[in-house]
Amino acid sequence: MSKREDSYLEPHVLRPTITSADYNGEPPPPQLVYEMQTPEAKQAADLLAVQRDLEFVWESLDMVQDLPRDRRDFTLVVTRALWTAALITYARCFGKGGKRTKLTEDDVLRTPNGEQSLRFHRDMIKIRDKHIAHSVNGMETIKIGAMVGRLRPTDDEDVTGMAAIYSIETAVNDETMAKLADLANELLNTAMARAEEMAPAVYESARAAGVDVVKTWPEVIYQRGPVDPGVPRS
pLDDT digits (tens, 9 = 90+) for 120-129: 999 999 988 8
Confidence label for 5 from pLDDT (cuts 50, 70 and 90): very low
3-class DSSP state for residue 96?
coil
- pLDDT, mean of residues 187-191: 94
Burial string for 6-39 (b: 16+ CB within 10 Å, else e) reads: eeeeeeeeeeeeeeeeeeeeeeeeeeeebebebe
More confident call, 48 vs 24:
48
- pLDDT, mean of residues 152-181: 82
Q: Give percent of the chain with pLDDT exceeding 90.
A: 41
Cut 0.75: pTM above it: no
Confidence label for 21 from pLDDT (cuts 50, 70 and 90): low
Hey, what amino acid is at 190? T
Distance (Å, rounded) from C-alpha 72 to C-alpha 231? 37
Give the side-chain half-sphere CA count within 13 A for 109: 3
More confident call, 186 vs 172:
186
Q: What average pLDDT does the chain have?
A: 81
Asked if residue 143 has pLDDT above 90, the reply is: no
The answer to whether residues 80 and 60 touch, using CB atoms and an 8 Å cutoff, is no
Confidence label for 62 from pLDDT (cuts 50, 70 and 90): very high
List of long-range contacts for 49-54, beta carbons under 8 Å, 24+ apart: 49/100, 49/233, 50/93, 50/101, 50/102, 50/103, 50/191, 51/188, 51/191, 51/192, 51/195, 52/8, 53/89, 53/90, 53/92, 53/93, 54/90, 54/93, 54/184, 54/185, 54/187, 54/188, 54/191
Distance (Å, rounded) from C-alpha 163 to C-alpha 122? 38
Rounded (10°) CA dihedral 8, 85, 233, 16: 20
What is the CB neighbour count within 10 angstroms for residue 130? 12
Asked if residue 101 has pLDDT above 90, the reply is: no
Hey, what amino acid is at 166? Y
CA 111 to chain centre: 19
